[in-house]
Chain A
Amino acid sequence: MIKLRAILTMTIYAILVTFASIWMAKQSYSWFPPEASAESKLLDDLFSLFTGLGTFIYLGVIGPFLYSLIFHRAAKYDRSDAPPIEGNTWLEVTWTAVPLVLVLTLSFVSYRTYEKMSIRGPMELVHLHTPQMMESAYAEPFDSTPQREIQNAVETAPVEQIDVIARQWAWVFHYPEQDVTSTELHLPVDRRIRFTLRSQDVLHGFYIPAFRLSQYVVPHKDINIEMTPIKTGTFRLRDSMYSGTYFAANQTDVVVQSPGDYQQWLASAAAQTPSPAFNQAIYEYNQSSEPGAGSTKDKVAVRGWATIPPAAPPVVNYAPKHEPKSPPV
């Protein structure tokens, strides 16, 4: 009778936990910025799976834990010991084997997502459009061909090459075909983009949260990564690797446009003569009360220490307009 009740309680709890996990897995999509790249969909699905399983494990462990904390308390004057249960081989084997299977599965699923994103490590070339004979031999769950949107983008047009130059503390984007430079990143939608990342001084991190990918920019080393924007709009590019004093201000906008708008923007930018762009780091540095001191005297309460001076403002064809008096945050 007691055993039956225990089994019933556990079953009901397991069902509740399952529903809660599914709910959390669905909720997890709302925790992210908009899905602006094909890769971001893959990542959000993977994250949702992790969230569901993670919630299941968390509630599965914390439930019995809290239950015993509430119901297995010692009575006020009870000084006796509890029954000396020292272990249970079956239980211990189970809770070693189940997590082992679980993490190996999660590793495998992560690997598959990684393959579908077709991120290649630096120096590795991408040959997406060459059909690979091996792949047809695998069944669906072992499918690691690139995601269809990525494949389509590659097949409809050649990969768009953009050079990214990072420095203390500015981003410069160079479009080699038109020889256009900009401090704002403009991208055509539904096209595969190859970024070649270069740093002129220290490590930086190339990170567009809406695209779900970050990659360090290493000095004296060209690093290629590829992405496929699928949503027009304005997103944020942030430096994700601490790069010194004005690191937090080393951000810019990413504008994803329709191919027509993009070509128009490139043409109009090419027509402009290069000029120095506004730079937040230089703006703040020049507020210093004396050379070499980093304090922005009009806003900051505590004076700062010496800093490396920012690099000269980038000279570019296109820069977004900013009022020098009220710089962007």
Chain B
Amino acid sequence: MANISIEAPEVVRGQPYPGAPDNWKRFFTFSTDHKVIGIQYIVTSFFFFLIGGLFAMIMRGELITPEADLVDRTVYNALFTMHGSVMLFFWTFPVLVGLGNYLVPLMIGARDMAFPRLNAVSFWMIPVAGILMMSSFLVPGGPSQSGWWAYPPVSLQNPTGNLINGQVLWILSVAISGVSSIMGAVNFVTTIFRMRAPGMTWFRTPAFVWAVLGAQLIQLYGLPALTGGAIMLLLDLTIGTSFFAPERGGNPVLYQHFFWFYSHPAVYVMVLPVFGIFSEVLPVHARKPLFGYRVIAASSLVITVISSAVWVHHMFASATPGWMRMFFMVTTMLVAIPSGIKVFGWVATVWGGKIRFTTPMLFALGGISNWLFAGITGIFLGSVPIDLHVHNTYFVVGHFHYVLYGAIVMGIYAGIYHWFPKMTGRMYYEGLGKLHFALTYIGTALIFLPMHPLGLMGMPRRVASYDPEFAYWNVVASIGGFLLGLSTLPFILNMVSAWIRGEKAGNNPWRAYGLEWLTSSPPSVENYEATPVVVSGPYGYGKNEPLVANTPNPGLTEFPESFTQKPTS
């Protein structure tokens, strides 16, 4: 009954332009629909994820033996530079902007983002910047070889002497991606402040929206510092200014401040939306309200504030005075408090729930367990004496890959599987999803866990060759790396085949509580028939109260066909 009344006007409206939800061509246009832009972001960034992953696998191939014998040292150095740059600027940032773009307006009951054209412009800058960065493989001298930090003076050494070189292209590409992110941040913050549906007070706003707000506020205060630093570096490199060049009186350590003032908070730009995904996925698949929702929501903003004053913990070894080391050690450790509150809240959410191990749930649970581990090693790194031993070793590499792959990428997968039926109207294949999870989880542990002992033994990061005493753990890590490469295959197969010919999912296959599940799958161009009026908080599982005043919540009053026919165990 409810389905008919929702879909009937669809036929009448029938949009004749490429914006209609059933027209695939809309993904290749300058669309201003936040849902189209969201998927454009996700698919584009996944393409770069595969490229960045390929770089990583070549590096793991090199590191399977102690000698530098697979690729030349310059190639290895270019590969780790491009791996880091591509994975951060063209995968993790944009894919999360994509998920936010798709979900935030739907979750707050808005018809679109506040500035739809700006939104489209921000997206289209990503492929431009990405292609610019990839094109550096084609210029003489090859791509940047100075690491993704591009620390001067190494980044100012220009072996070819050409004006157009890999480092210049790298800086331009990063600057463009930075401008794109700043525009996106303006859009998100405005949308979340101004466009929440009537009745959606702050403490009726889903935790994901809070998390995206926290992340985008960081973009607003932090990114100008990085972009400014990048432009100064560009001027040093091209017209010979002396901001950072020591032989001309510049200060190379100053660049590190510009860089980390943004790039440490940037970790929270990436991890906060993933925290949001965990907070959305767990209640649905455990059938329980989010435990301590208000505290979890507010702790996102606490992280936003604290993370603005921790950046020097990346520079404990770079000629920083003692008082700075001590001050930033304490602030760094304090980040553990809001992060810990979230983890405890999630554990309490699943405790006593009615848990179903669906693929998104498995990825969320796996991501949380990895985050717990990464958070603990993060406290180790915050301690100055420990950091002075493991600084720039594989211990750090293991730690941040546990954050970025173990928690963030797993969280992204959780989000993609969870909202896949909403985005496409079809259900993914559960078996392939579980295979994907198993390969990812085992691969993550195999590749990133051995990096911790390697770092404690004293293996520096970014080395193309190493002493034979490190060989054993490196072989294990390489096997894990190839397994992770393999793990993307069932994912791609699942997504492509399910989108083309997967089972129809219905509007709310998870019987989830939330505005985005009240509309059709995929949602119509303007998202809702009528603007919903919110009358209660999110996560009302077990409470049997309506979420909105003007439409019934179809998922909670009746089970969609797909769900009753094929129960997920």
Which residues of A does B touch, CB under 8 Å? 31-33, 42-43, 46-47, 50, 54, 57-58, 61-62, 64-65, 68-69, 72-88, 91-92, 95-96, 99-100, 103-104, 106-107, 110-111, 113-114, 117, 119-124, 201-203, 205, 207, 209-210, 212-216, 218-221, 223, 236, 238-249, 251, 284, 292, 294-296, 299-308, 329
- Sample of 23 A–B contacts (CB below 8 Å): A46-B383, A54-B376, A72-B352, A72-B353, A74-B356, A85-B289, A86-B290, A87-B291, A96-B337, A119-B322, A124-B321, A207-B460, A215-B319, A218-B252, A218-B318, A242-B77, A242-B151, A242-B392, A251-B467, A296-B72, A302-B72, A304-B71, A305-B74
Is the pair A247, B462 in contact by a Cβ cutoff of 8 Å? yes
Is the pair B388, A214 in contact by a Cβ cutoff of 8 Å? yes
For A120, what are the chain B residues with a Cβ–Cβ distance below 8 Å? 322
Top 7 A-B pairs, shortest CB-CB distance = A209-B458, A304-B72, A305-B142, A248-B463, A84-B542, A81-B542, A74-B354
Is the pair A299, B67 in contact by a Cβ cutoff of 8 Å? yes
For A302, what are the chain B residues with a Cβ–Cβ distance below 8 Å? 70-72, 75
The chain A residue with its CB closest to the CB of B149 is A242
Could you tell me which residues of chain B, from 526 to 543, have a CB within 8 Å of some CB in chain A? 539-543
For A57, what are the chain B residues with a Cβ–Cβ distance below 8 Å? 376
The chain B residue with its CB closest to the CB of A215 is B317
Which residues of B does A touch, CB under 8 Å? 66-75, 77-78, 140-142, 145-147, 151, 153-154, 157, 159-160, 246-247, 252-253, 286-295, 317-326, 329-330, 333-334, 336-337, 340-341, 343-345, 347-348, 350-357, 365, 368-369, 372-373, 376-377, 379-380, 383-386, 388-389, 391-393, 453, 456-458, 460-468, 511, 539-543, 559, 567, 569
For B142, what are the chain A residues with a Cβ–Cβ distance below 8 Å? 305-306
Is the pair B391, A86 in contact by a Cβ cutoff of 8 Å? no
Is the pair A121, B321 in contact by a Cβ cutoff of 8 Å? yes
Neighbour of A82 across the interface among B343, B465, B541, CB < 8 A: B541
For A248, what are the chain B residues with a Cβ–Cβ distance below 8 Å? 68, 73, 460, 462-466
For B392, what are the chain A residues with a Cβ–Cβ distance below 8 Å? 205, 207, 214, 240-242
Given A123-B321, A242-B154, A304-B71, 18 more A-B residue pairs with CB atoms under 8 Å apart are A46-B386, A64-B351, A68-B347, A84-B540, A96-B341, A103-B337, A104-B333, A110-B329, A121-B320, A203-B153, A203-B252, A212-B385, A240-B393, A241-B151, A294-B74, A300-B70, A305-B78, A308-B159
Neighbour of A307 across the interface among B74, B323, B354, CB < 8 A: B74
Neighbour of A304 across the interface among B75, B317, B353, B461, CB < 8 A: B75
Is the pair B379, A304 in contact by a Cβ cutoff of 8 Å? no
Whole-angstrom CA separation of A240 from B340 in the bound complex: 31
Q: Which of A218, A243, A304, A305 has the most CB of B within 10 A?
A: A305
How far apart are A310's CB and chain B's nearest CB, in angstroms?
A: 12
For B145, what are the chain A residues with a Cβ–Cβ distance below 8 Å? 244-245, 305
For B160, what are the chain A residues with a Cβ–Cβ distance below 8 Å? 306
Whole-angstrom CA separation of A74 from B383 in the bound complex: 42
How far apart are B467's CB and chain A's nearest CB, in angstroms?
A: 6
Neighbour of B559 across the interface among A79, A106, A207, CB < 8 A: A79
Neighbour of A61 across the interface among B69, B288, B347, B384, CB < 8 A: B347
For B355, what are the chain A residues with a Cβ–Cβ distance below 8 Å? 68-69, 72-74
Is the pair A329, B383 in contact by a Cβ cutoff of 8 Å? no
Is the pair B388, A213 in contact by a Cβ cutoff of 8 Å? yes
For A123, what are the chain B residues with a Cβ–Cβ distance below 8 Å? 321
How far apart are B149's CB and chain A's nearest CB, in angstroms?
A: 8
For A113, what are the chain B residues with a Cβ–Cβ distance below 8 Å? 385
Is the pair B319, A221 in contact by a Cβ cutoff of 8 Å? yes
Whole-angstrom CA separation of A242 from B464 in the bound complex: 11
Whole-angstrom CA separation of A120 from B42 in the bound complex: 48
Q: Which of A46, A201, A248 has the most CB of B within 10 A?
A: A248
How far apart are B331's CB and chain A's nearest CB, in angstroms?
A: 10
Whole-angstrom CA separation of A207 from B396 in the bound complex: 15
Neighbour of B391 across the interface among A31, A106, A214, A251, CB < 8 A: A214
How far apart are A227's CB and chain B's nearest CB, in angstroms?
A: 11
Given contacts A74-B287, A120-B322, contact A329 B67 (CB under 8 A): yes
Whole-angstrom CA separation of A87 from B348 in the bound complex: 9
How far apart are B220's CB and chain A's nearest CB, in angstroms?
A: 27
